[in-house]
């Protein structure tokens, strides 16, 4: 019940295309859902995050879609660029400020030019 399941494990998208990464969870006590981006040799960095009272959040080319009833959320990267090639992790946090994040296993995105 504490897991966050992420798919696909890897993704290849052409430059200019849309990248979509999906995550699912079981625990309805999660109240914060961030996406992190990680480049090789670097630590993860927060990309965008959403709370369950919102169905969509957009920041530039990045959009989170959230379906509370289905307990699913997804990251959409519009107009994907080679510089977006990285590993993306979804995560969830229990409804206690400051508690640790529970991460999905990651998606390696390659954007071909």
Partner 1 sequence: GAGVSQSPSNKVTEKGKDVELRCDPISGHTALYWYRQSLGQGLEFLIYFQGNSAPDKSGLPSDRFSAERTGGSVSTLTIQRTQQEDSAVYLCASSSRHRGRNEQFFGPGTRLTVL
If phi > 0 it is left, if psi is from -120 to 50 it is alpha, else beta; for residue 71 that is: left
Nearer to partner 1, 17 or 52 (CB): 52
CB of 16 to partner 1, least distance (A): 29
CB of 7 to partner 1, least distance (A): 12
Q: Which residues bind partner 1 (CB under 8 A)?
A: 4, 6, 32, 34, 36, 41-46, 49, 89, 91, 93, 97-106
Which token pair is 54?
């919102």
Beta pairing, strands 72-77 & 62-67 = antiparallel
Nearer to partner 1, 17 or 72 (CB): 72
Q: What are phi and psi of 98, to 5 degrees?
A: 95, -5
């Amino acid at each position: 019940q504490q897991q966050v399941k992420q798919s696909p494990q890897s993704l290849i998208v052409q430059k200019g295309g849309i990248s979509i990464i999906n995550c699912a969870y079981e625990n309805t006590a999660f109240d914060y859902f961030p996406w992190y981006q990680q480049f090789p040799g670097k630590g993860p960095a927060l990309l965008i995050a959403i709370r369950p009272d919102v169905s969509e959040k957009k920041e530039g080319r990045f959009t989170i879609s959230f379906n509370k009833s289905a307990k699913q959320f997804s990251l959409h990267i519009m107009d994907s660029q080679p510089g977006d090639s990285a590993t993306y992790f979804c995560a969830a946090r229990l409804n206690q400020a400051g508690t640790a994040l529970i991460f999905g296993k990651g998606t390696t995105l390659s954007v071909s030019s």
